[in-house]
Amino acid sequence: MNILILSAGTRDKVVQYFKKEAGADGKIVATDCSNLAPAVYEADRFYLVPRITAPGYLDRILEICREEQIDGVFSLIDPELSMLAREKERFLEIGVVPVISPYELVETCFDKFRMYRMLCEMGIPTGKCFVEKEEFYRAYEAGEVSYPVFVKPVKGSASININKVNSKEEIDLLFHLYDDLMIQEYMDGQEYGADVYIDMISGKCTSLFVKKKIKMRAGETDKSVSFKDEKLFAMIRGFVEKCGFRGMIDIDIFDIGGTYYISEVNPRFGGGYPHAYACGVNMPKYVLNNLAGKENDVAIGDYMEHICMMKYNEIMIKDMSGIQIVE
């Protein structure tokens, strides 16, 4: 089985896991717009490609798929996921399966207010959100929300441009300086992350790993411990199956007063997925099974509890003599 991993960046572990699971008969190909992306050197072959916004980018990816006889493709960065989902048919026409949820769901994940409305319609607890500051002020005066709150872009990722604010004056200033902002209720509780796999053939949630977040860094989980709760499993499983997600997704959850609130949903591998893999949640294997036409068995919560993950820095050294460095 041949897999193409787009925009591999620094996600070395994901590339390593797929190489291990694909075995000697498989091939892992990686791309990036920089030859200083360490993860690409873990692959069997790597391609330096234009930025995803460049003209002809999609055609180049399709060309690589044909050259390498790729069976399945996925991306590790948010900006590329919409393109992959939108152009799914072009990949299928050449025999390549994009491992991605349906386009409308992907777009909903990246529009935080649209996701908020969908969660509310489904009756799933989530923090209150407002795109009109005057509506927030009315809710504040009515005692429905309180400071602090988060002011963040309606569309965004990696915790970029998120501001924790404590006053009307701060909100007014941010809304004056920037467009397309929203106000989100501050959720003061224990945060959890869920790595979820939804079978691409059956549509069932076949694997679910939950970690209690201990420390965050740059929007990603830095330290965590594996955790189990059947009530949380049931809520997540019902949510992802009813929505129609496919493949791997990453969900942020808060426990506030014994009630679980879904905060965000990302339709890709989460930054903390190595924790799940180390505990036995083998999503590369699930992907390869699906691409081979095999449904995965349901194994919700099939992992060890109380196992800690602690990230630390590593470096890669490469001799780039005679090679033009592309940042």
Beta carbons of 79 and 156 less than 8 angstroms apart? no
193 and 306: one domain?
Answer: yes
pLDDT at residue number 221: 86
Residue 237 lies in a domain: yes
Residue 200 lies in a domain: yes
Residue 319 lies in a domain: no
**Is 80 exceeded by the pLDDT of residue 60?**
yes
179 and 218: one domain?
Answer: no
**Is 70 exceeded by the pLDDT of residue 198?**
yes
Mean pLDDT of 196-215: 97
CATH classification at residue 40:
3.40.50.20
CA distance 129 to 116: 7
User: pLDDT tens for residues 224-273?
Assistant: 999 999 999 999 999 999 999 999 999 999 999 999 999 999 999 999 99
Residue 278 lies in a domain: yes
pLDDT at residue number 88: 97
Please tell me the chain's helix, strand, coil percentages from 3-state DSSP, rounded to the nearest 5. Answer: 35, 25, 40
pLDDT at residue number 160: 64
Confidence of residue 216 (pLDDT cuts 50, 70, 90): confident
| Among the ranges given (127-141, 146-160, 290-304), the one the predictor scored with the smallest mean pLDDT | 146-160
CA distance 177 to 133: 14
CATH classification at residue 143:
3.30.1490.20
pLDDT at residue number 217: 81
Percent of the chain scoring above 90 in pLDDT: 94
pLDDT at residue number 219: 72
90 and 135: one domain?
Answer: no
Residue 115 lies in a domain: no
Q: Residue 323 phi/psi, 5° resolution?
A: -115, 130
Residue 214 lies in a domain: yes
* HEC readout, 295-312: CCCCEECCCCCCCEEECC
35 and 65: one domain?
Answer: yes
194 and 179: one domain?
Answer: no
What the block records as the tokens of 258 is: 């014994």
Beta carbons of 287 and 247 less than 8 angstroms apart? yes
pLDDT at residue number 134: 96
User: pLDDT tens for residues 74-83?
Assistant: 999 999 999 9
Residue 282 lies in a domain: yes
9 and 58: one domain?
Answer: yes
305 and 217: one domain?
Answer: yes
CA distance 151 to 145: 14
* Cβ partners under 8 Å of residue 232, min gap 6: 192, 194, 210, 253, 260
CA distances, 257 to each of 160, 196, 250, 279, 302 (Å): 28, 24, 23, 28, 27
pLDDT at residue number 161: 74
Beta 149-153 vs 72-75: how paired, if at all?
unpaired
Domain assignment of residue 143, given as a range: 128-185
169 and 235: one domain?
Answer: no
158 and 240: one domain?
Answer: no
**Is 80 exceeded by the pLDDT of residue 99?**
yes
226 and 167: one domain?
Answer: no
Q: Indicate the residue among 169, 185, 201 that finishes a domain.
A: 185
What the block records as the tokens of 144 is: 């429905």
Tokens 């048919």 identify what position?
Answer: 89
Beta carbons of 127 and 191 less than 8 angstroms apart? no
| Among the ranges given (148-157, 189-198, 265-274), the one the predictor scored with the smallest mean pLDDT | 148-157
CA distance 43 to 5: 9
180 and 194: one domain?
Answer: no
CA distance 170 to 207: 42
Count: domains in the chain: 3
179 and 197: one domain?
Answer: no
**Is 80 exceeded by the pLDDT of residue 61?**
yes
Q: Indicate the residue among 85, 100, 115 that finishes a domain.
A: 100
**Is 80 exceeded by the pLDDT of residue 168?**
yes
Residue 117 lies in a domain: no
CATH classification at residue 195:
3.30.470.20
